[in-house]
Structure 1
Amino acid sequence: MPKLDKDAQVAVKLVPDAGLLDLALSAEQRRSLFEHPGSSVVAIIELSSASYTGHAASEEKDPQVKLRVTACQAARDGAEESALRTAQRAMWRHHQIEGTLEEVGPGPRSAEAVLGDALAGYPTEDEYAEHRRSELARERADFVR
């Protein structure tokens, strides 16, 4: 892959495969998005580069990278949505402080702290792993019977 000049502008395109997005949305969310054009759902997504297009130095086109959604979880209720929006605002404030000092509102700067507090009642990775182990053990026991 060719190295880009540090000032190069890279165009970003999203690969039109929405399989993981479809799985992350409940049937109610999908219906609501259809019935209310312009509505939105708040989600945490992971994007991975799928491909890139470079251009000859003599062409006046920006290089382009195509991204694919590789993980997605959508907020399913008001509390989850509020927590994600709060984290989003905290991250925006943090980025503004790191870059240009523009208007910054009061409140936490750490998205991790915001999410940690807001999602404190959710299972930890260890609790989820234990749940999966007991679920698999129960399935095996039912299979043996």
Structure 2
Amino acid sequence: MPKLGPAEVPEVKLDGAAAPIEASMSREMRRALFEKPGRTVYAIVALTSKSYTGHAEGEDKKPQVKLRVTECEVARTDEDALALADAKAAMYRGRQMDGTLDEVGEGPMRPETQLAEIKASHPTEDELKAHKRDVEERRRREYVR
């Protein structure tokens, strides 16, 4: 992997692959975004670097890294959207206080502290597993009838 000089900051481009975003949105949400341009939805996304350019010796192209959304969950309720907006604002305040708004680097990485309220009001992994077992059991009973 190439190393950047201390003064070099790569430009960030977003890859066009949107499958994880589309998969996390309901049909109604997608229609609303299409029918009402400018509408905003809030989501939690994982971005993964997929490619880079401008790394060859003597290359006059600015360094660039391409990111792809590899995981996504879109807020489905107004309450979830508000909680994510609040978490985003809190994380922004943290970056301001940490002085990382214009610095290169990861900055504060404590989203779990901002999202505790959201996590508390949503199902746990164990609850999801129990739900899946219940659904499977109901299907078996209906099939037997």
TM category (shorter chain) comes to: 0.7 to 0.9
2:112 paired residue number: 112
Aligned to 1:67: 67
Match of 2:45, SS state, is: strand
Name the structure 2 match of 1:88: 88
Decide whether the 8 Å contact of 2:12 with 2:64 is kept in 1: yes
Of 113-122 and 41-50, the range deviating more from structure 2: 113-122
Distance 1:14 1:100 in 2: 21
Identity rate, percent = 47
Q: Quick one: structure 1 residues 37 and 144, their matched pair in 2 at CA, closer, same or farther if it must change by over 3 Å?
A: same
Equivalent in the alignment of 1:30:
30
Q: Cα deviations across residues 69-90 of structure 1 (Å, max 9, x unaligned)?
A: 1110101111000000000000
Deviation at 1:133, TM superposition (A): 3.6
5+ residue gaps in structure 1?
102-109
1:127 matches 2:127: yes
Unaligned runs of 5+ in 2: 102-109
1:40-97 CA-to-partner distances (Å, cap 9, x unmatched) read 1111111111112233343332211111111101011110000000000000000110
Q: Say which SS state the counterpart of residue 69 (structure 1) adopts.
A: strand
Q: What is the alpha-carbon distance in structure 2 between the residues aligned to residue 7 and residue 86 of structure 1?
A: 33
Q: Do structure 1's residue 17 and structure 2's residue 17 form an aligned pair? A: yes
Q: TM-score scaled by structure 1?
A: 0.79
C-alpha distance in 2 between matches for 1:116 and 1:83: 10
The 8 Å contact of residues 45 and 71 in structure 1, kept in 2 or not, is answered as yes
Q: Determine the C-alpha separation between the residues in 2 that align with 1:7 and 1:48.
A: 23
Letter in 2 for 1:65: V
CA–CA distance in structure 2, aligned partners of residues 142 and 32 of structure 1: 36
Cα distance between partner residues in 2 of 1:13 and 1:144:
53
Q: CA RMSD, aligned part only?
A: 2.4
* Distance in 1 separating the partners of 2:137 and 2:37: 45
1:90–1:111 CA contact under 8 A, matched in 2: no
What residue is the counterpart of 1:40 in the other structure? 40
Shift of 1:141: 6.3
User: How many angstroms apart in 2 are the aligned matches of 1:25 and 1:57?
Assistant: 43
Question: What TM-score, normalized by structure 2, do the two folds share?
Answer: 0.79
Counterpart in the other structure of 2:54: 54
Q: How big is the shift at 1:129?
A: 2.4
